[in-house]
């Protein structure tokens, strides 16, 4: 059985960034396994720009960002990549079994494994929309791939449910392809997308946005013929009497992303509530020794730049562990999100003597302005940061210097200061 320092499951931006970081941190034998026909993951279908400002200090398209990540690992004898290869299982003892048409079924042994499988889209079934099951109901991502990579349109007259970034981006994309986007419906009273996408994807194309609205029913038996829309109350329940119909041949769903953790769960990786991804420490190690996780498989990100940042952390520590250079942890600290912070990754810190720099990735529970984020331990505020704007859709990051982490014990909380 082939032995690798680091085996990486998934060749999207997370996997590629992890591979590059593992290489830079001394790993000598790295394997990246990708199920698609080429590296780059979902970025290859995200042809719009807006990627890379943090990580590459330059605005790139999705394929552009993927290209940069690929270029960084290409032609490095230490890094081997396999495409068109599906990982079927990862075991606790870091054996990774995969299959592809050329090699058939094979198993490799990792000294460490990094899980970077990304996420998938929620479907119609998850939101239980009434109606028939006609052709013409697609997740936004599936439609995006057909339009941007395969050369087919999902329809001509479009309604989009969900105003997350994917929904907004697809509204513009379909408009540029000459389709008519009839409406975007959003069950929340606010958009879940970036402001810039609201402006350039909806306002620029005069596409109506119905906030606090949902789709009650999909009409049409064989192909979508329209949708029935209704206003929702504060509890997100439809308000009787507010129903109206919109004609369309296609419904695109952008109703959330779910970290894809079937492999992790089968391996015995502990999954955290709310993020629905592995519970990881600041080094992105899961509860299973030597198995790391990073990117959208841990928690859904809004910016690929943060995926890369996080994957670099995982890549670094996986490489150090593979070489036997991991500084042992002596102090375990639980991280609890409180007061307006809904999720925080990492969920636990395993700190060495003298502490270690830690970056927290958080999501807020509701939109707010001018708030103070606090990290507390035993009633004492360790770190503070003033945030001009918080939105549930936008990740909040906070760097904690090593010296501050050295002061932590048992448990810290991260939350917004009461106003």
Stretch binding other proteins (CB under 8 A), from 108-116, 148-156, 286-294, 370-378: 148-156
Per rule CB under 8 A, count of chain residues that contact other proteins: 80
* Contact with other proteins (CB under 8 A) among 47, 211, 326, 329: 47
Stretch binding other proteins (CB under 8 A), from 198-206, 330-338, 371-379, 398-406: 198-206
Q: Are strands 250-253 and 137-139 parallel, antiparallel or unpaired?
A: parallel
Answer yes or no whether residue 386 interacts with other proteins by CB under 8 A. no
Measuring CA to CA, which residue among 347, 333, 336 is closest to residue 404?
333
Stretch binding other proteins (CB under 8 A), from 2-10, 138-146, 289-297, 332-340: 138-146
Provide the 8-state DSSP code for 353.
T
CB 197 within 8 A of CB 187: no
| Helix (H) / strand (E) containing 51 | strand 49-51
Tokens encoding 230: 């209704």
* Contact with other proteins (CB under 8 A) among 10, 11, 13, 63: 63
Answer yes or no whether residue 145 interacts with other proteins by CB under 8 A. yes
Provide, rounded to whole angstroms, the least separation between the CB of residue 313 and other proteins: 21
Interhelix angle 13-24/62-73, rounded to 10 degrees, is 30
CB 388 within 8 A of CB 343: no
Provide, rounded to whole angstroms, the least separation between the CB of residue 178 and other proteins: 7
CB 43 within 8 A of CB 63: yes
In the block, which residue shows the tokens 């970077």?
Answer: 116
Answer yes or no whether residue 149 interacts with other proteins by CB under 8 A. yes
Answer yes or no whether residue 108 interacts with other proteins by CB under 8 A. no
Answer yes or no whether residue 332 interacts with other proteins by CB under 8 A. no
Stretch binding other proteins (CB under 8 A), from 82-90, 313-321, 344-352, 404-412: 82-90
* Contact with other proteins (CB under 8 A) among 24, 76, 195, 410: 195
Q: How far is CA 337 from CA 10, 113, 217, 345, in A?
A: 29, 28, 37, 9
Site for other proteins in 224-253 (CB under 8 A): 238
Answer yes or no whether residue 118 interacts with other proteins by CB under 8 A. no
């Amino acid at each position: 059985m082939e032995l690798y320092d680091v085996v990486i499951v998934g060749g999207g931006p997370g996997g590629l960034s992890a591979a590059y970081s593992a290489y830079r941190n001394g790993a000598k034998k790295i394997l990246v396994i990708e199920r698609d026909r080429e590296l780059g993951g979902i970025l290859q279908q995200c042809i719009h720009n807006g990627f890379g400002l943090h990580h590459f200090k330059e605005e790139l398209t999705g394929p552009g960002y993927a290209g940069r990540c690929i270029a960084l690992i290409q032609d490095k004898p230490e890094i081997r990549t396999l495409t068109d290869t599906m990982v079927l299982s990862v075991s606790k003892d870091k054996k990774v079994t995969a299959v592809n048409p050329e090699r058939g079924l094979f198993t490799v042994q990792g000294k460490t494994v990094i899980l970077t499988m990304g996420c998938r889209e929620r479907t119609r079934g998850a939101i239980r929309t009434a109606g028939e099951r006609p052709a013409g109901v697609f997740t936004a991502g599936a439609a995006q791939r057909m339009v941007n990579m395969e050369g087919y349109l999902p329809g001509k007259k479009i309604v989009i449910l969900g105003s997350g970034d994917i929904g907004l981006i697809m509204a513009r994309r379909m408009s540029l392809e000459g389709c008519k986007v009839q409406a975007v419906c959003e069950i929340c009273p606010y958009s879940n997308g970036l402001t810039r996408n609201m402006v350039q994807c909806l306002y620029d194309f005069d596409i109506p946005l119905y906030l606090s609205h949902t789709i009650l029913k999909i009409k049409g038996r064989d192909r979508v013929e329209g949708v029935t829309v209704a206003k929702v109350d504060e509890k997100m329940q439809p308000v009787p009497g507010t129903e109206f119909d919109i004609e369309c041949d296609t419904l695109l769903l952008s109703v959330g992303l779910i970290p894809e953790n079937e492999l992790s769960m089968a391996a015995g990786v502990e999954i955290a509530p709310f993020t629905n991804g592995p519970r990881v420490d600041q080094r992105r190690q899961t509860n299973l020794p030597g198995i790391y996780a990073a990117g959208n498989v841990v928690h859904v990100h809004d910016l690929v730049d943060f995926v890369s940042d996080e994957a670099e952390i995982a890549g670094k520590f996986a490489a150090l562990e593979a070489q036997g250079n991991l500084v042992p942890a002596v102090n375990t600290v639980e991280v609890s999100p409180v007061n307006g912070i809904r999720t925080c990754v990492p969920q636990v810190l395993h700190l060495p003597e003298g502490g270690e720099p830690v970056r927290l990735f958080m999501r807020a529970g509701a939109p707010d302005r001018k708030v103070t984020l606090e990290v507390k331990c035993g009633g004492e505020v360790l770190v503070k940061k003033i945030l001009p704007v918080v939105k549930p859709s936008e990740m909040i990051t906070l760097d904690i210097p090593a010296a501050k982490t050295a002061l932590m014990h048992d448990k810290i909380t991260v939350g917004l200061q009461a106003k």
